Structure 1
């Protein structure tokens, strides 16, 4: 059975979904996206993703084609139609098409394009990789300067993942001016020897992760010290632990960086604890 997807107001079999060849998302990567996890048939941190979507659209002077309430109903309907218990819902909004290619933005009344589709991921929260941890490499951060906007411009992160794969690793951390910015599709953290969680502060340099915000909130509520500042690869290699966060991986331990083990090379207690807290709390608040 083909998936049911949502395209510009219609629920369609994926085999019948169509977008114009002149859509600016295709021609210019002129679009934004969000990914919402589904656990036990419910949406994880939907309000956070809806708010960030609105922010991204605003930063690009792009109209929002729907309301929060309508978007929630679309997500729920896709979960129902595709019988998703655990999985992901991808949402993309582009500036649409005015029927030709032009660098200049189309007229303001040009309808945006909105597309949503699901991915079925049974056992998403029970990923065995969380018990062995990620091995990562470091690469130069060569992305554009507005990484805080969650755009569909993902070519360099995709190249970074391929660099990691070629090195026999799971992911890459990007480095700029000697400091880690973030992973290819995740925020990056270390745990210092005194038990402090360190992650880069919010700015235009990194994505304002929805999972990041929740994890830091839960850490502080658990009386774990948090320090928001840049850190180097060398500091990460000497740390007690390291981990990443994202909407699809939740909290994932990092056990090796550029071929050097973090601590003893095993998954640490802090990352494991934070992952457990995050999943428990997010399941309680899921919609």
Structure 2
């Protein structure tokens, strides 16, 4: 039996009923997070929860639970599902009320929900690399908020999928921002480049881990945007996210990146990232 998070309880999936008037369903009025679980242990949960509360503040949504309570619920969700290696998804919406663009009153409680999914690390992608495609970044200008409004990202990811690619590399007039569900990095002459963490990208939690790993292995970092033209001339390209970790991009729109194989610095980052993974309480 699968269990989910529903407000302040862990319940069987069949107990959950979503109100058709929920603002998340009607407006995408809410925020979410995805946290990786390795061997039964949440990875970077504190950072994800902190970002969850930061996103909520940016859309003026008050979470009716303390961070400690939310951490407790997330751990209970992992335990209830006996989750080994996979991830948990959780979101909060502004609640259920008759449809109106204006915020509801304080008497309408937000709705918190979450689920767990077992899935292995994508080791084949780490070893062989993936293909990507350039797609215009048509999203709104507050990509720093991890909101439920993901239609722009969905359209980009679908375009990549139809081209046989793993990810869409988004750009605004030729300047790369991030992936449809990831952060993007280029390595040139022993320097790692990535778009600065501003309103045009989501400051990924895995991104922060990778930048720390880079410092630890002696790879200089420049948080500077680079162009689609420059991307094709990089020695190495990387895509990262909670589920992608450190994944090399070996081809973009038919152009081979570097040698067409995962590069030396990418391999070093992968090895260093592995040192951060919890050994866990179960395999």
User: TM-score surpassing 0.5?
Assistant: yes
1:45·1:285 contact (CA, 8 Å) conserved in 2?
no
Find the counterpart in structure 2 of residue 111 from structure 1: 109
**Residues 241 and 285 of structure 1: CA distance in aligned 2, closer, same or farther (over 3 Å):** farther
**1:255 & 1:270 partners in 2: Cα distance?**
13
Residue 214 of structure 1, CA deviation: 1.5
Residue 177 of structure 1, CA deviation: 2.3
2:239·2:247 contact (CA, 8 Å) conserved in 1?
yes
Find the counterpart in structure 2 of residue 164 from structure 1: 160
Residue 52 of structure 1, CA deviation: 0.4
For structure 1, the 5+ residue unaligned runs are: none
Find the counterpart in structure 1 of residue 40 from structure 2: 41
**Residues 182 and 285 of structure 1: CA distance in aligned 2, closer, same or farther (over 3 Å):** farther
Find the counterpart in structure 2 of residue 242 from structure 1: 237
* CA deviations over 1:99-124 (Å, ceiling 9, x no partner): x1000000023211000100111x32
Find the counterpart in structure 1 of residue 67 from structure 2: 68
Find the counterpart in structure 2 of residue 187 from structure 1: 183
Answering whether residue 131 of structure 2 is matched by residue 135 of structure 1, we say yes
1:45·1:282 contact (CA, 8 Å) conserved in 2?
no
* CA deviations over 1:154-184 (Å, ceiling 9, x no partner): 1121111111111111110011022001001
* CA deviations over 1:134-157 (Å, ceiling 9, x no partner): 100001000011000000111121
**2:248 & 2:140 partners in 1: Cα distance?**
27
- Computed over aligned residues only, the root mean square deviation of the Cα atoms, in angstroms, reads 1.5
Residue 9 of structure 1, CA deviation: 2.1
Answer with 241-250 or 6-15: which moved more.
6-15
Please give the secondary structure, in 2, of the residue aligned with 1:281. Answer: coil
Find the counterpart in structure 1 of residue 278 from structure 2: 283
**2:220 & 2:204 partners in 1: Cα distance?**
19
2:87·2:117 contact (CA, 8 Å) conserved in 1?
yes
Question: Of 174, 178, 181, which aligns to 2:170?
Answer: 174
**2:280 & 2:182 partners in 1: Cα distance?**
22
**1:227 & 1:249 partners in 2: Cα distance?**
22
Aligned length: 281
TM-score, with structure 2 as normaliser: 0.96
**1:263 & 1:11 partners in 2: Cα distance?**
48
For structure 2, the 5+ residue unaligned runs are: none
Find the counterpart in structure 2 of residue 216 from structure 1: 211
**1:17 & 1:250 partners in 2: Cα distance?**
31
**2:23 & 2:145 partners in 1: Cα distance?**
17
Find the counterpart in structure 1 of residue 264 from structure 2: 269
**2:205 & 2:218 partners in 1: Cα distance?**
20
Find the counterpart in structure 1 of residue 147 from structure 2: 151
**2:280 & 2:134 partners in 1: Cα distance?**
35
2:157·2:168 contact (CA, 8 Å) conserved in 1?
yes
* CA deviations over 1:57-92 (Å, ceiling 9, x no partner): 000000012222111111111111111110100010
Answering whether residue 16 of structure 2 is matched by residue 21 of structure 1, we say no
Find the counterpart in structure 2 of residue 198 from structure 1: 193
Residue 284 of structure 1, CA deviation: 6.7
**1:275 & 1:233 partners in 2: Cα distance?**
24
2:38·2:277 contact (CA, 8 Å) conserved in 1?
no
Residue 285 of structure 1, CA deviation: 10
